[in-house]
Amino acid sequence: MGQPAASRGRAATPTLGKAMLNKYARAFFTRVLTPFAAFLIRRGVSPDTVTLLGTAGVIAGALVFYPRGEFFWGTIVITLFVFSDLVDGNMARQLGRTSRWGAFLDSTLDRVADGAIFGGFALWYAGNGDDNVLCAVSIFCLASGQVVSYTKARGESIGLPVAVNGLVERAERLVISLVAAGLAGLHTFGVPGIQVLLPVALWIVAVGSLVTLIQRVVTVRRESAEAEAAAAQESPESQESPASPKSPPSPESQGHEAQGSEAAK
């Protein structure tokens, strides 16, 4: 998951690994993990394989531990697999690969990992957590996160810049949720009252995601109106410009046209 733009052939987007590690920590761990990445390359392991395994680890941490209320250990497992964000990118750089497929796989599996994390929260509150409101909030966080990502991708696909980041993007959603979940898990070790952090975090993510979604929709609407207005201004100008007179085709050109039409058949 989350391989760098230079090596994976896509625009830079916040990933789980990048969100949880600042640039200095990333530089340190990149140096530490470079020999391991080189070892995997020698063993014939591809960056895409590491991406798949990293996502599988996040899914396991979220859907095995979180529904049972083991938030501390689930967050530890997810955090360990965060390092796949650095390993697969390191491997891609060493191999000198730029891959549209890798970019597509990376972005797709990011959405899967996000869904597993918030799905794990929802399963806990639907079961032993016994809180239908927080279950609904978790589901809203899951759905709104997917839609927030979709709005930017869809806007860009129709030629709009979508020049807005928003209040709570993927990086913020994951850091807030995972840090709160890990700390809330300390309740099982006897730390009193700390379990309240997860509900607070989920409400923050839900409200922030809603605000971000509104920001992006408003931005796309404004940019779309501006683009259509610009196109409408250019259209009359092109209609008013006098058409250049056409000279009658020469016999030679008519002969070439006839040959071309016969060839096209």
Q: Could you tell me how far CA 164 lies from the centroid of its own chain? A: 15
Tokens read off for 97: 């690969």
Catalytic residue, candidates 48, 110, 114, 130: 110
With beta carbons less than 8 A apart as the criterion, state whether 5 and 93 touch: no
Tokens read off for 140: 């809203």
Four-residue CA torsion sign, 4, 6, 7, 10: positive
Nearest to 168 by CA among 120, 135, 213: 213
Task: Please say if 110 is a catalytic residue.
Answer: yes
Q: What is the C-alpha separation between 203 and 213, in angstroms, rounded? A: 15
12 phi and psi angles, rounded to 5 deg: -65, 130
- The string over 222-257, giving b where at least 16 C-beta atoms fall within 10 Å of a residue's C-beta and e elsewhere, is ebeeeeeeeeeeeeeeeeeeeeeeeeeeeeeeeeee
List active site positions.
Answer: 110
